[in-house]
Structure 1
Amino acid sequence: MCQCYGRALARSIALVAGIATLWAGAAAGAETRLCVLVPHFKDEYWLSVGYGLEEEARRHGVDLMFFEAGGYRALQTQIAQLEGCLDRGADAVLIGAVSSDHPALLAAVSQAAVQRPVFGLVNALDAPDLAGRVGVDWADMGRAVGRYLAERHPLGTAPRQAVLISGPAEAGWTGPLETGLRDELAQSAVRIVGVLGADTGLREQLRLVEDALDRWPGADFLIGSAPAIEAAMGHLAQPVQHATPRPGLVATYSSHTIKRGLIGGQVLAAPFDDPMEQGRLAVRQAIGLIAVAHPDQALGPEIRLLQPGSDGLPQMNLSPPEYFPMIE
C-alpha cells in the first residue's frame, strides 16, 4: 500500500509541476505548442473538435500541430506520431486515441508522459499516466439513444428490430456505446438483431449499411455512427425496385450531415455532445486554465438528445463548412 501511495503521489506531483510549467511559459509570452493526434478527419465530428481546438488556441496565443493517423487501425502510425510530437518540441500532447487499451499505445503514452504532459481527447484511453482527459462517457451516448427508442416503443408494444452500425471494436467508444444502448433497450420492444463495425469513413460505413439492408431487410431501425447514417440517407434516397419499408435512422452522435438530416426529418434522433466545446476545453485544460484535480475523470459537456424540431437545432454549434485543419 505504501509503495502504491508513493507512486500515486509522485505521479500527481509530476503532473501538477508539468502543467504549471507549461502555463508559466504561456503566461510569460513564450510560444506554447500543443500537439494534437486524432484517428482521422474522415468523420465530420473530428472537424468540429479540431475547430474548437483552433478557436481556443488562437484566443490564448497557443500554436497547434495536427496529426491524423489515417484510421482506427493505424496503431503504429499514431505511436510514431506521438514520438514525433516530442521530437518537434511540443509542450503537451492531446491524443484522440485509436485504441483505448492496446499495450503498445499505453507503453508509448507512458514513455511520452515522462517528458511532457499527455491529455486524452474525446476517445477513452486507459493510460494511468494521462495528465487529464476531455470527453463524454460513450455509454451515456448509447443510453440517450436507447432511452429515446424505449420511450417510443415500450415493453409490451409491437416488437421492433434494429441493426447497430458502429466503429471498429478496438476504438474505445464502441463498446461502452453498445453497452449503454442495450441497457436502455432491455425494457423495451426494440431488439438489436445485428451489429456491424468498421472504420468510420463514409466508404467503409456505406458498405456496412448495404450489408445490413441485405441481411436484415425488415429491420425497423438503423442505429449508426454519423457516417453510417449519412451513407444510409444517400442510399435510401435512391429509387428501389421493391416495396420493403425503409428503416428509421437514428445516429449515435452528431455531425454536419446529421444536423441537416434532423432538420429535414430524415434522421429521427441523435445525441449531441458538443465536439467544438470539447476542443475548447482540451486546450484550456492543457495550458492549465482548468484544474486537473482527478486526471482519471474526464471533463466534458452535457449530452443532449436532438430530434426534428428540437429547440436550438438550427444553431447547433459545429465547425464552418469550409473548415479543414492544417495537418503536419
Structure 2
Amino acid sequence: MLGGSLVACVASAAVAQDAWWPFSAEDWTSGEAVSIEYSPTEAPTKKWKLCAVYPHIKDSWWIAVNYGQVSEAQRQGVELTVFEAGGYTNLNQQISQFNDCVALGADAIMVSVISEAGLANQIEEATKNGTVVVGVGNPIFEAKVTSKIYTDQELMGFTGGQLVLELFEGNPARVVQFPGPQGAGWAESSAAGFRRAIEGSAVEVLEDKYGDTGKSVQLRLVEDALQAYDDIDLLYGVAVMAEVAVTAVEEAGLADKTKIVSWYSNQGMIDGVLNGTVAGTVTQYPVAIGRIGVDLAIRALEGRESAKEVHPVPLAITTENVGSLDLTRAFAPAGFQPTFKVD
C-alpha cells in the first residue's frame, strides 16, 4: 500500500498534527480503481518550496482543503505559499497566480483549477521546466500533471442521486438542480452523475441552474426557481445553495414541502443535517484531499513511489449516520482561519 493574496504566518505548532492515516481511497493510476489505505511518505530530505492555487476560499470546503495542506506542510517541514483567485469567474487571476508560483521558484505547484482548459498551457510549461504540478480538489482529465487527488464528481453526483431516491422511497419528486459554475467541468460531471442515478425513476429534474458558488449568486438562483416552479419537492446541488436555500424555503412557507440536499458537504451541511433543515449531503473529505495533495508533491520531489491519481470514496450523510462519523478528515477545526503562508 502507498504507505494570496493575503499572508498569515503561523507557527509550526499552531495546528494539531494528529496522525490522519491510513485513509481509505482508490488508486486510479492503472485506469481502474484499486482500493488502498493511503499513508504519507517518510520525512522529506529537504525543505521543499510548495505553492497552492485555489479558485477561492469563500466556504468551509476550501477552508478544509487549506487546513489539510497547511497542517501537512507543517508536519512534513516544507514551505507553503497559498493564493486564491476570489471565485470561479476569475480565471485570468488564477493564471496570474499560477505564474506567481513559478516566479517564486516553487518546487511544486498544487493547483485547484477553475478551468482545466484555461490552465493547460501553464501546467504544460511548468512541467516541461521541471516543476512538479499536482492537481488538488477539482478534476484534471487531460492536462499532464505529475499526479492528482480529487473526488470523482460524477460519482459524487451519482451518490447524491441514490440518496435522493432513498429519501423519496420511489415516490414522484420534482427537482431543481444547482450543479455549480457552468464550464468548470466538475459541475457538469456531478449533474450527469445525478441524472444517471435517477434514470428510470419517478424523480424529475425541472431545470439545471448553473452559477458561481458565491452566496449571492446561489440565493438569486434559488429565489428564481421558487418563483418559476410550483410544487418543488427538492432543491439539490452545491453546498452553498443548500445553505442559502434553508432561509429562502422557510420564507416561502415551503419548509414542510421542499427538501434540501447537497451533493458535497461543508460544515453548514453537517449542521443542517443535525438540525433537520437539510435532508442529506455527501462528503469527500476535503481535509484529507489537501493533506494527500501535499504528500503527492513531496513524493514526486523526492522521487519516491507514488500513485498518480487518487480518489476519496464519497459517503452519503443523513440523520441516521451523522452522529457516528469521524469528520476530522472532512472539516477544519473550529476557529481555524485561512492561512496563506507556512515557512
> What is residue 63 of structure 1 aligned with on the other side?
79
Residue 197 of structure 1 aligns to a residue whose secondary structure is: coil
Is 1:248 aligned with 2:264? no
Q: Deviations over 1:50-86 (max 9, x none)?
A: 1011111111001111101111121111111111101
How high is the sequence identity, in percent, across the aligned residues? 31
User: Contact (CA 8 Å) 2:274, 2:322: kept in 1 or not?
Assistant: no
Which of 119, 122, 134 is the matching residue for 2:137? 122
Contact kept, 8 Å, 1:263 with 1:314, in 2: the verdict is no
For 1:11, the equivalent position in structure 2 comes to none
1:93 shift after superposition: 0.3
Deviations, residues 191-234 of structure 1 (Å, cap 9, x unaligned):
10011111111111111111111112311000021100000112
Q: What is the DSSP-based 3-state SS (H/G/I as helix, E as strand, rest coil) of the residue aligned with 2:279?
A: strand
The answer to whether structure 1 residue 135 and structure 2 residue 146 are counterparts is no
Distance in 2, matches of 1:140 and 1:246, equals 28
Structure 2 counterpart SS, 1:288: helix
Alignment of 1:180-191 (within 5 A): 180-191=193-204
Match of 1:95 in 2: 111
Which of the two has greater helix per residue?
Answer: 1
Report what 2:64 is aligned to. 48
Q: What TM-score, normalized to structure 1?
A: 0.84
Distance across 1 between alignment mates of 2:231 and 2:116: 34
Whether the 8 Å contact between 1:131 and 1:292 is mirrored in structure 2 is no
Q: Determine which of 297, 300, 323 is the counterpart of 2:336.
A: 323
Q: Give, in whole Å, the separation in 1 of the partners of 2:57 and 2:250.
A: 25
Range 45-54 or range 167-176, more displaced: 167-176
Other-structure match for 1:109: 123
In 1, Cα distance between equivalents of 2:154 and 2:254: 36
One-letter code of the match for 2:120?
L
Alpha-carbon displacement from aligned partner over 1:17-50 (angstroms, at most 9, x marks no partner): xxxxxx99x733x321111000001121100011
Q: Which has the higher contact order (CA 8 A, sep 6+)?
A: 2
Please say if residues 263 and 313 of structure 1, whose CA atoms lie closer than 8 Å, have aligned partners that are also in contact: no
What is the aligned residue count? 295
2:317 to 306, 309, 313: 306
User: Contact 1:219 / 1:247 at 8 angstroms: preserved in 2?
Assistant: yes
* Preserved CA contact (<8 Å) 1:121 1:133: yes
Letter matched to residue 151 of structure 1: E
Partner of 2:22 in structure 1?
Answer: none
The residue number in structure 2 matching 1:210 is 223
Amino acid at match of 2:60: E
Structure 1, unaligned runs of 5 or more: 1-22
1:81 matched to which residue of 2? 97
Alignment-derived partner of residue 224 in structure 1: 237
Instruction: Give the CA RMSD over aligned residues.
Output: 2.2
Q: After TM superposition, give the deviation of residue 306 of structure 1 in Å.
A: 0.5
Alignment partner of 1:194: what SS? strand
Instruction: Give the letter for the 1:61 counterpart.
Output: G
Question: Shift of the alpha carbon at 1:159?
Answer: 2.2
Aligned to 2:6: none
Cα distance change of structure 1 residues 236 and 112 upon mapping to structure 2, 3 Å threshold = same
Shift of 1:274: 0.5
Which residues of structure 2 form unaligned runs of 5+? 1-40
CA distance in 2, matches of 1:131, 1:58: 22
